[in-house]
Structure 1
Amino acid sequence: MHQESKIREIFQEGPILPEQVAASLQAHQHKKQIGAHSMFMGQVRADQTPQGIVAGIEYTTYRDMALEQMHQIREEIFAKFGLTCMHVHHSLGWVPAGAISLFVFTSSPHRKAAIEACAELVERIKKELPVWGKEVLEGEGHQWKSNN
């Protein structure tokens, strides 16, 4: 089962590409003890705000703190749900509206654990990681996004 306890990099510059999602799924086909995968993909919305339409989000983080916190969350989720695998990819920098900025992928022998772990993992990432999004508006202007 879960053997890694090292801090893993989760951040990448720019959006998560569809090819990355496909590659993650492809890489797990040889792991025949897995019976279920659950995935979450967070997409940047072109929200209409009182200040204008969101063109995209500029993500920043306090990387060392975020990676340490993610490591703790990872260990707790693995222990609670008995997962086989867990992968988290979070964008930094510019992500235009319509692109994916968060990809969470959990795997386990049975569907309930994979689904529940994925849902809890997403909620904890949004609440606990020091990641900030500055919504850049079409034309000029920006506003800080709340994590909800």
Structure 2
Amino acid sequence: MEKKKVKNVFVSGAISPHFIGESIAKHQSKTTIGAHDIFLGQVRADVIEGKTVAAIEYTAYEEMANKKFHEIREAAFEKFNLNCMHIYHSLGTVKAGELCLFVFVSSPHRKEVFEALQHIVEEIKVQVPIFGKELFEDESYQWKVNS
């Protein structure tokens, strides 16, 4: 069996709604797809100890992170009946209200996309070495802890 190439999932800065729309539009010609599901991760303006998050600065050990994304992707194709999957994650500064994670899955049937998407997003949160520094409005910061 041919080994698939590890793709770079990282984009610089926020993921634009235009990019997401273009990704969806490209799938209209794929007539074996009956359902899509999308997860969009957005930076929240959390208030922590009286300070408001203005942005998150994302960093990653990119080679290892891309390998983990690849492993999650391949495992999902083994576990679920998927036609297509795309994952993109931001690096650099993403302001509150902007998008930092885009996961897009397609399948012949809706049940598969719902189950697959939830599984994939949870695996990303647990496995992928991406680090977020919460930048507060007062220019202080702290490292983000995933919950």
Match of 2:21 in 1: 22
So what's the TM-score if we normalise by structure 1? 0.95
Counterpart-to-counterpart distance in 2, 1:75 and 1:123:
15
Query: Residue 58 of structure 1 aligns to a residue in which SS?
Result: strand
Counterpart-to-counterpart distance in 1, 2:49 and 2:128:
27
Match of 2:45 in 1: 46
Query: Residue 55 of structure 1 aligns to a residue in which SS?
Result: strand
Per-residue displacement from partner, 1:93-113 (whole Å, max 9, x unpaired)?
000000000000000000011
Match of 1:144 in 2: 143
Change (3 A) 1:69 1:130: same
- State the number of aligned residues: 146
Q: CA deviation at 1:137?
A: 0.3
Counterpart-to-counterpart distance in 1, 2:3 and 2:112:
19
Counterpart-to-counterpart distance in 2, 1:9 and 1:118:
19
Counterpart-to-counterpart distance in 2, 1:40 and 1:109:
18
> Aligned ranges for residues 1-148 of structure 1 at < 5 Å?
5-50=4-49, 52-148=51-147
Counterpart-to-counterpart distance in 2, 1:110 and 1:140:
47
5+ residue gaps, structure 1, are: none
Counterpart-to-counterpart distance in 1, 2:146 and 2:56:
12
Counterpart-to-counterpart distance in 2, 1:96 and 1:4:
37
Query: Residue 103 of structure 2 aligns to a residue in which SS?
Result: strand
Query: Residue 38 of structure 2 aligns to a residue in which SS?
Result: strand
Consecutive aligned runs of 4 or more in structure 1 exceeding 4 Å deviation:
none
Identity of matched residues, % = 50
Q: CA deviation at 1:4?
A: 7.6
So what's the TM-score if we normalise by structure 2? 0.96
Counterpart-to-counterpart distance in 2, 1:146 and 1:103:
20
Q: What letter corresponds to residue 35 of structure 1 in structure 2? A: G
Counterpart-to-counterpart distance in 2, 1:12 and 1:105:
15
After superposition, the CA RMSD in angstroms is 1.2
